[in-house]
Amino acid sequence: MKAAARGPSGSARLAKGVVKAEAPATPPLPDPSEPERRAIALAKGKHEGRTVRVRSGMVNEDSGPLMTNPHTDGNGWQIRLRNALGTRSKEFLDWCINQIINVFPTKDGASVEDLDAVLAVLDGAEPKNEIEAMLVLQMAITHALAMRSARLMVGSKEIPQQDSNGLALHRLTRTFTTQIDALAKLRRGGEQKVTVEHVHVYPGGQAIVGNVTHTPGGGGILENSGQPHAAKDPRTLALAAGPTVLCQDPPRQAVPVTNRPRQEALPDARRGARIRGTEG
């Protein structure tokens, strides 16, 4: 097949025997349905209400990566960057930025997309101090490494590679959940808050937390099915807020005692005694 030749005017013309293949026509896309239009309108409202996350403004130059303000308000941009890391320290900001750049290197320098994504995570988490910022930074990097291990595991063809990448993915995901728990514990000051909504005490001294009903004639079977009429049970005791106090045992029926001065001794058992059967 001969290549197309160009005429004097510079336009391409087809040589003899060459058939021009026409590209298949792409069918037009359908318009969104009415439910999709409503969902799009709802998503637009939520999107407009979200906070615009801070960006690094970094560019890769021959001398290395350089961070510059992405708009005219350079002072406001610097304040937003420090606020995203929960600090007023410029040194702490530069320290964290350099750590992120070293984790996500590229052949052309630092990865601007990865840096801006980590800054978005930090800005959204709103760390209160440097400790929380370092923990959130570790969470973002742990997530990125977990996704990398998942990609490597999918592309592994040998069983040892699959096992190695799967083990790394398992450890990273467990570490991520541990970091979430650590951040939650750090923010609540290490205290655990337990809220008891309802307490019902039934005969027998059994205290059950929650909406509990007693099944009539069920032999004491308790069901925690969340019925709102559980408090109407006449056997339910309402407990007022306050310290728990102990009460005396309820009075019981006394056992009758004989008027003999002393208990007579039982006769000795006879050897070879037999028990007669019942006579018919």
Give the pLDDT of residue 55.
93
In contact, 64 and 78? CB cutoff 8 Å = no
The pLDDT, as a whole number, for residue 127 is 96
Q: Provide the pLDDT for residue 2.
A: 47
For the chain, the domains span 51-187, 199-230
Burial code (b: 16+ CB inside 10 Å, e: under 16) for 242-276 equals eeeeeeeeeeeeeeeeeeeeeeeeeeeeeeeeeee
Per residue in 109-119, pLDDT (tens digit) is 778 999 999 99
pLDDT, tens only, 36-83? 999 999 999 999 999 999 999 888 888 888 888 889 999 999 999 999
H helix or E strand, kind and range, residue 5: strand 5-6
206 bridge partner residues: 202
Q: Each residue of 220-259: pLDDT tens digit? A: 444 454 545 545 555 544 544 555 555 566 666 666 655 5
Residue 147 has phi, psi (to 5 degrees) of: -65, -35
